[in-house]
Structure 1
Amino acid sequence: MELLEIRNITRKDAAVLYRRTFSGEAILKYDELTTRARRVAFVLEHTPTAGVQIQAEFLDLPDYPLVPAIRMLKEHILALDKRGLLP
């Protein structure tokens, strides 16, 4: 399985500035012919030690083992954040 992109990322307003909440659609490629969109939600929380903690979940379960899929999703989210591509 490969995570191609996260589309339609929307940011939800939060009361605290160090916590950002998002939702979107993850586009997953299972093989050469099969791609599917799954709804996701994730939170980026900036820690006092200048780190970022990511919590991610699939709202629509993927047709793939969940632990590796969430790890792949978190890595993609972190890359998006580092490049400044999150709203």
Structure 2
Amino acid sequence: ENQSEFGGGDAEGSLSTLQSLADDADLDGCSVAAAASRERYRPLVDAERTEAVDERGFQGTPTVLVDGEQVAPRWSDLQRAVENAR
């Protein structure tokens, strides 16, 4: 719902949105925004992205896995995959 708030190059606006979202989730919005502004988790995000793209072949979001298998992000496909995984 708020994804468009992060793509316009407005770093202050993005951090403000991130802080609000964190606060809404009962997290410490100030700490979340501070960690984001310092790119505290950049090495972890980069490593996860490298694994997802280079090693697992994921092409974008959303990428959905059910029981370790990639499933098209359509309700009927997800429902069928979950039922088959039971």
Please give the range of the TM-score, normalised by the shorter of the 2 chains: under 0.3
Which of the pair is proportionally richer in helix? 2
Which of the pair is proportionally richer in strand? 1
How high is the TM-score relative to the length of structure 1? 0.24
Q: Choose between structure 1 and 2 for higher RCO, CA contacts under 8 A separated by at least 6 residues.
A: 1
